[in-house]
Amino acid sequence: MKNIRFFQPDTVVHALEFLHEHPKARIVAGGTDLLPEYREKEDNAITGFIDIMRIRELSGISFDDHAAHIGALATHAMIAQNGTLKERLPVLSAACSHVGSPQIRNLGTIGGNIITMSACADTLPALLVLEARMVMRSLHQTRTITVEEYIDEKRKQLVPPGEMLIKIVCDLPDEVPLSYFFKLSRRAAAAKARMTVARTAYIESGQVRNLRLSVGAVTSLALRYREAEKLIEGKAVTDQLCCQAGERVVHDMLAVTGRRKSAAYKIPVLTEMVRRSLEGLQ
Ligand SMILES: Cc1cc2nc3c(=O)[nH]c(=O)nc-3n(C[C@H](O)[C@H](O)[C@H](O)COP(=O)(O)OP(=O)(O)OC[C@H]3O[C@@H](n4cnc5c(N)ncnc54)[C@H](O)[C@@H]3O)c2cc1C
């Protein structure tokens, strides 16, 4: 029988030391991604599990004058129910409230959602439009990286080994942007996203400012759609512009995925989802 080590550290340093000594061990937070995957695949490479749920430094949500600091162990339920996040970062609050079922939201963490980085992870489009930052720590260094940069590292398989996500930092602008989040799935609850659109923007003198638009679940990793953002930026939104932005997003999505069988469904639905995400800015 295989000898699997199980470690329950109560500090980040202890966890990182164990990870350093056992590079094939895996960090477990809520276990809602990792344990089903382990059961299914029985990954023989895994030599141990590091249960980080007792590490207090990783839990909790706090605020300073300019930013929200969300511990890697904050669950989706904690984020969705936090009054300040609901008010100041509604796009993230909405994303977390759409994850799985109440049981999954009570157990699953934002850290696990980001690190697994599945195509349909609900928090990623929201974190992309918030330009959220991740504080990552390994035994010998701490680095801060945007979620977008981390996605890029993941795509290029450049994520350094032996790192732990400590917290996510989101700026709190003085004025809360107009925010939109929509998850399309087969059922209203407890279902994976087929497409997710997140958008933030301001309207000044009738014109759109600082538009950020992101789509999840249509490419292998969620993406910002900057060309579509540029189409609308600084303009008064019209029906025609909303449709053009939808077409631009589809064009850029297809440039990444190629024209697969699913394109017959994705093209009209994504065009319409993007259009709807923008029409509220008129
Ligand atoms: C029935 C079901 C429904 C689901 N529905 C949804 C859904 O609708 N939307 C959605 O987005 N997700 C969904 N999920 C996926 C999952 O619940 C989420 O991704 C959740 O946020 C994962 O968090 P966790 O704490 O359980 O992660 P874990 O399973 O504990 O860990 C996931 C991965 O992250 C790593 N990890 C965890 N924390 C850290 C850290 N601090 N530093 C470094 N690495 C870390 C682990 O090593 C592992 O590789 C669902 C899962 C199930 C089982």
CATH code of the domain in which 32 resides? 3.30.43
Indicate if 142 and 243 belong to the same structural domain. no
Q: What is the pLDDT of residue 187?
A: 81
Indicate if 75 and 161 belong to the same structural domain. yes
Domain boundary (145, 171, 197) is at: 171
Each residue's pLDDT tens digit, 168-181: 999 999 999 999 99
Candidates 46, 49, 107, 113: which one to mutate for ligand 1, based on the most atoms within 8 Å of Cβ?
Answer: 113
For ligand 1, is residue 222 a contact (CB within 6 Å)?
no
Q: What is the pLDDT of residue 45?
A: 82
Q: How far apart are CA 210 and CA 208, in angstroms?
A: 7
Task: Give the distance (Å) from ligand 1 centre to CA of residue 251.
Answer: 30
Mean pLDDT is lowest, of 32-41, 153-162, 234-243, for 32-41
Indicate if 194 and 158 belong to the same structural domain. no
Is residue 70 predicted with pLDDT exceeding 60? yes
Indicate if 193 and 220 belong to the same structural domain. yes
Average pLDDT, the chain: 95
For ligand 1, is residue 164 a contact (CB within 6 Å)?
yes
Indicate if 63 and 150 belong to the same structural domain. yes
Give which of 53, 20, 51, 26 is closest to 41, Cα–Cα: 26
Each residue's pLDDT tens digit, 133-147: 999 999 999 999 999
pLDDT tier, 44 (very low <50, low <70, confident <90, very high otherwise): confident
Q: What is the pLDDT of residue 38?
A: 87
Q: What is the pLDDT of residue 39?
A: 84
What CATH number is associated with residue 227? 3.30.390.50
- Return the residue whose CA atom lies nearest to atom 53 of ligand 1: 32
Indicate if 76 and 38 belong to the same structural domain. no
pLDDT tier, 46 (very low <50, low <70, confident <90, very high otherwise): confident
What CATH number is associated with residue 120? 3.30.465.10
For ligand 1, is residue 277 a contact (CB within 6 Å)?
no
Domain total of the chain = 3
Indicate if 74 and 159 belong to the same structural domain. yes
Task: Give the distance (Å) from ligand 1 centre to CA of residue 204.
Answer: 38
Domain boundary (125, 145, 171) is at: 171
- Mean pLDDT throughout 233-251? 97
Q: How far apart are CA 116 and CA 101, in angstroms?
A: 18
Indicate if 73 and 156 belong to the same structural domain. yes
Indicate if 61 and 44 belong to the same structural domain. no
Task: Give the distance (Å) from ligand 1 centre to CA of residue 108.
Answer: 5
Indicate if 192 and 269 belong to the same structural domain. yes
- Mean pLDDT throughout 49-55? 97
Indicate if 192 and 267 belong to the same structural domain. yes
Candidates 33, 123, 194: which one to mutate for ligand 1, based on the most atoms within 8 Å of Cβ?
Answer: 33
Task: Look up the domain containing 238 and give its range.
Answer: 178-279
Task: Give the distance (Å) from ligand 1 centre to CA of residue 36.
Answer: 10
Specify the DSSP element, H or E, that contains 212: strand 207-216
Positive or negative torsion for Cα 237, 242, 248, 250? positive
Q: How far apart are CA 42 and CA 218, in angstroms?
A: 28
Q: What is the pLDDT of residue 93?
A: 98
For ligand 1, is residue 34 a contact (CB within 6 Å)?
yes
The proportion of the chain whose per-residue pLDDT surpasses 90, expressed as a percent, equals 90
Task: Give the distance (Å) from ligand 1 centre to CA of residue 75.
Answer: 10
For ligand 1, is residue 95 a contact (CB within 6 Å)?
no
For ligand 1, is residue 195 a contact (CB within 6 Å)?
no
- DSSP-assigned beta bridge partners for residue 193: 185
Task: Give the distance (Å) from ligand 1 centre to CA of residue 264.
Answer: 30
Cα–Cα distances (Å) from 185 to 167, 190, 193, 234, in that order, read 29, 9, 5, 32
For ligand 1, is residue 14 a contact (CB within 6 Å)?
no
For ligand 1, is residue 196 a contact (CB within 6 Å)?
no
Q: What is the pLDDT of residue 1?
A: 57
Give which of 10, 118, 123, 124 is closest to 58, Cα–Cα: 10
| Dihedral pair phi/psi, residue 155, rounded to 5° | -60, -40
For ligand 1, is residue 154 a contact (CB within 6 Å)?
no
Indicate if 217 and 131 belong to the same structural domain. no
For ligand 1, is residue 148 a contact (CB within 6 Å)?
no
Domain boundary (51, 69, 88) is at: 51
